Structure 1
Amino acid sequence: MRADARRNYERLLSEAKTAFDKHGIHTSLDDIARQAGLGNATLYRHFPTRESLLKTMLHDSIKELGTTAEELLTTEPAGEALATWVRAAVAHATTYRGLVTLLMDSLKDEASELNNACTSMQSSGQHLLERAQRSGEVRDDTSPNELFALIASAAWAREHAPDEADQVLTVLIDGLWPPRR
């Protein structure tokens, strides 16, 4: 990439982060380009869709979430590892307002530019869930899809009911443990 194109690319990413932090993922892409001092054609040349922009912006954090899962598989007891990763996944899904809905939609849409990243993230969680289920530390009647619905629910609570979000996440994680008899 040419030096000027690289500068434009980096400026767009910086402005997108600022805009998404302030207004959520549905902020105007044209406004992002304008704030970067560039035309919208430059933005769309680098990022043809909102998803492509988000995919680039989230690349490192999604990769880190996968790396965290791999490390937890070998360093923490199974139940603790799953709980730690669930907390990290909820934090990731709330990086920007509105992101959790897009991630869940992308998980179901194979044509989505975020689908591979979302299925990779789901696979990481699935490995942790299955390990915890095999060890008997978490209930065996929870599927990976249900786990992700629970993560999305906790992320939604964090976004829309922040005062209750910590308790919602605690109850979610406690609910993964086997029922006491």
Structure 2
Amino acid sequence: MRADARMNYDHILMVARDAVAERGANASMRDIARRAGVGLATLLRHFPTREALFEALVCTKLDALTQKADELETSTQPDKALLSWFHEWIAFAQGQKGVVEMMAAAHTNPDSALYASCAAVHSASARLLARAQGEGRARADMNGDDLFGLMAALGWLVDLPSFASRADHLTHIVASAVLACPTGNDVEKAAH
């Protein structure tokens, strides 16, 4: 990429981050182009779809999230790793307004710009779940799709202003449903 094109690309991403922070996933592509001082055609040349723009915006954060799952996978306590994963996911979801809905839609669509990133998060979740199941610490009647669905639902829910303040409580409720026979104290211990 030429230096001037790279500067345009980086500037558009910076402006898009601000627009998405203000308006969420429904930020107008036309508004982003206007704010960036470029034509809509220039924006669309770099990011032909809204998903492509979101993929560029969240790619680094999704990579970091997946890396965190890799670190948690080597944890000595699989239930603690799974609960930590929920908290990492919620922090990600709250920091990327509106992206959870896009990820949920993209996770089964190989043509989506977000598909590879979603597949990596899904795979990381499934590995953490399988590890906890292997040690009898998570429900055996779940699979990675179930866990990804619960995480997406939880992420969507805490993205709503009326539930954001209850994110930790809701995370504990979902964790209690996933972890095998936990008591409230077990979930609390795993969180710390």
Bin for the TM-score computed over the shorter chain: over 0.9
The normalised TM-score by structure 2 is 0.89
Q: Find the residue that maps to 1:142 and give its secondary structure.
A: coil
Q: What is aligned with 1:126?
A: 126
Please list the CA deviations of residues 131-173 of structure 1 after superposition, one character each: whole Å capped at 9, or x if unmatched: 0000111121121111111111211221112233221111011
Q: What is aligned with 2:165?
A: 163
Q: Find the residue that maps to 2:165 and give its secondary structure.
A: helix
Moved over 3 A (4+): none
- The residue type paired with residue 168 of structure 2 is D
Spell out the pairing of 1:21-40 with structure 2 (5 A cutoff). Answer: 21-40=21-40
Please list the CA deviations of residues 30-54 of structure 1 after superposition, one character each: whole Å capped at 9, or x if unmatched: 1101101111111111111111111
Q: Find the residue that maps to 1:94 and give its secondary structure.
A: helix
Of stretches 5-14 and 164-173 in structure 1, the one that deviates more from structure 2 is: 164-173
CA contact (8 A) 2:12 2:32 kept: yes
Report the CA distance between 1:78 and its aligned residue.
Answer: 0.7
Distance 1:20 1:76, change over 3 A: farther
Of stretches 86-95 and 73-82 in structure 1, the one that deviates more from structure 2 is: 86-95
Q: What is aligned with 2:174?
A: 172
- The answer to whether the aligner puts 1:19 opposite 2:39 as a matched pair is no
* Runs of at least 5 residues in structure 2 that lack an aligned partner in the other structure: 184-192
Please list the CA deviations of residues 105-137 of structure 1 after superposition, one character each: whole Å capped at 9, or x if unmatched: 001212111111101110011111000000111
Please list the CA deviations of residues 61-118 of structure 1 after superposition, one character each: whole Å capped at 9, or x if unmatched: 1111111111111134111111111211222233332211110000121211111110
Q: Find the residue that maps to 2:11 and give its secondary structure.
A: helix
Q: How many residues align?
A: 181
Spell out the pairing of 1:76-91 with structure 2 (5 A cutoff). Answer: 76-91=76-91
Distance 1:76 1:33, change over 3 A: farther
* Runs of at least 5 residues in structure 1 that lack an aligned partner in the other structure: none
- Cα distance in 1 for partners of 2:94, 2:70 equals 22
- Cα distance in 1 for partners of 2:9, 2:76 equals 39
The normalised TM-score by structure 1 is 0.94
Distance 1:158 1:129, change over 3 A: same
CA contact (8 A) 1:82 1:128 kept: yes
- The answer to whether the aligner puts 1:56 opposite 2:56 as a matched pair is yes
- The residue type paired with residue 135 of structure 1 is E
